[in-house]
Amino acid sequence: MAVEAERIRPARPAGQPGRPRPGLVTTGLVAPPLLWLGILFLVPVVLIFLYSVNVFSFFPGQQAFTLDAWKDFLDGGPFMDLFWKSIRMALIVSVCAVVMAYPIAYFLALVASKRRYVLLLLILTPFLVSYFLRLLAWKVILGDQGVINTFFYWTGLRADGDAVSWLLYSQFAVILTLVYVWIPFVALPIFVSLDSLDRRLLEAASDLGASRWQAFRRVTLPLSLPGVIAAFIFVFIPTIGEYFTPLLVGGVSGTMFGNAIADQFGQSLNWLNGSVLSFFLLVVVGLLLALFARFLTVRRLATG
């Protein structure tokens, strides 16, 4: 089919006749976006590193190379503990989000035949609503004087003032809110990978005597794994550095690594320490990205 032949045609190589100096044109095209990200993303990363070893300092005249702040941090202590706590919370959040969203994606891709795009839109729409407003909603719902607790008082399920206090300002609140925020985002890449699944493979599996469960475990699940991993990474990494969610609904026990960074640059005015924490976070993110790079392509993420 002509249509398909067109789609698999590789991108046209440079240097074909009719395109003068393709290298120069390419450079001219790609330079502005790369420069923008270079100057406002890569240069700042280098600056953070320089701050973290005190070659640059917030206080003029105090610049002197030192690794003390790094040693303090890596030796363990409250900040390192907070980092591991954030990793743990990010893991819980991303696993919960994937586990909850997978059946949704499966339902949309393989069961809800005709109306699946409408239903997909139904799942995705909450993601279009402001992140901050969705946080606010949970703050209003979970508080001691919030929707759930006052509902309990009102209906007499609990005595007036005897609030279920772990609902807000807790790790639970942070995890619940983040899972809520991420579910639509997670459902999308899983849906894309399940939607492109060749159904003849399932027919073949069943013809060869596989039960439905076997077909799912041996065919569907492995083939959807790239989408699952992409979704997982896309939740896990940003969640490690989450800032506003713990700030709004986390209280003391829900504090995360991002809050420590913000505090060092804000109230504590300790840019040296803050830079160590930020650069460490960037290194961890970089390593995770390198590890999972092949799952994070434009093709995997874009739906058109």
Partner 1 sequence: MDIGTSKAGRRTLAVWFGILVLFLYAPLLVLVIFSFNDNNLPVFPLKGFTLDAYRQFAANPELKASILTSLKVASLSSLGAVILGLLASIVLVRRTVFARGVVSALLLSPLVVPYIALAIGLLVFFNETSVPLGIQTIVMGHIVVSIPYTILILVPRLERLDVRLEEAARDLGAGWWQTFRLITLPLVLPALVSAYIVAFVLSFDEIVIAYFVNGQTTTFPLYLFSQLRFPTLLPQILAVAVIVMAASTVILLAAEIGRRVLERRLGTDLETIGTAPGPGGAPEPASAAS
- For partner 1, the binding residues in 86-125 under the rule CB under 8 A are 100-101, 103-104, 106-108, 110-112, 119, 121-123, 125
- Would you give the binding string for partner 1 spanning residues 23-62, x where CB under 8 A is met? --xx--xx-xxx-xxx-xxxxxx-xx--x----x-x----
Using the rule CB under 8 A, give the single segment among 20-28, 71-79, 159-167, 221-229 that binds partner 1: 20-28
Residues in the chain: 304
Using the rule CB under 8 A, give the single segment among 66-74, 164-172, 221-229, 288-296 that binds partner 1: 288-296
Rank residues 33 and 78 by Cβ distance to partner 1 and give the closer one.
33
Query: What is the phi/psi pair of residue 57, to 5°?
Result: -145, 150
Rank residues 226 and 241 by Cβ distance to partner 1 and give the closer one.
241
216: which 2 tokens? 């799912």
Q: State the nearest-atom distance from the C-beta of 6 to partner 1, in Å.
A: 6
Measure Cα distances from 266 to 91, 259, 277, 284 in Å: 27, 10, 14, 23
Q: State the nearest-atom distance from the C-beta of 253 to partner 1, in Å.
A: 19
Query: Scanning residues 157 to 176, which ones bind partner 1 (CB under 8 A)?
Result: none
- Would you give the binding string for partner 1 spanning residues 177-196, x where CB under 8 A is met? ---x--xx-----------x
Residue of 210, 266, 273, 217 lying closest to 57 (CA atoms): 273
What's at 293, amino acid-wise? A
**Number of CB atoms found within 10 A of residue 231's CB:** 30
Measure Cα distances from 176 to 90, 118, 232 in Å: 11, 26, 16
Rank residues 64 and 290 by Cβ distance to partner 1 and give the closer one.
290
Residues binding partner 1: number (CB under 8 A): 114
**Which residue is it, tokens 């994937």?**
98
7 near partner 1, rule: CB under 8 A: yes
CA 65, 73, 291, 41 torsion-angle sign: negative
Q: State the nearest-atom distance from the C-beta of 130 to partner 1, in Å.
A: 4
Using the rule CB under 8 A, give the single segment among 65-73, 74-82, 144-152, 157-165 that binds partner 1: 144-152
Q: State the nearest-atom distance from the C-beta of 269 to partner 1, in Å.
A: 12
**Number of CB atoms found within 10 A of residue 232's CB:** 21
Query: Scanning residues 243 to 282, which ones bind partner 1 (CB under 8 A)?
Result: 243-244, 248, 258, 261-262, 265, 271, 274-275, 278, 281-282
Among 24, 64, 133, 208, interactor with partner 1 by CB under 8 A: 133
Q: State the nearest-atom distance from the C-beta of 212 to partner 1, in Å.
A: 6
Measure Cα distances from 192 to 121, 223, 299 in Å: 13, 11, 10
Using the rule CB under 8 A, give the single segment among 9-17, 62-70, 72-80, 159-167 that binds partner 1: 9-17
Rg, the chain, Cα only: 25
Quick check: 95 and 237 in contact, CB under 8 A?
no
Q: State the nearest-atom distance from the C-beta of 243 to partner 1, in Å.
A: 5
What helix, strand, coil percent values describe the chain, rounded to 5? 75, 0, 25
Among 234, 254, 272, 273, interactor with partner 1 by CB under 8 A: 234
CB burial class (10 A; 0-12, 13-18, 19+) of residue 28?
exposed
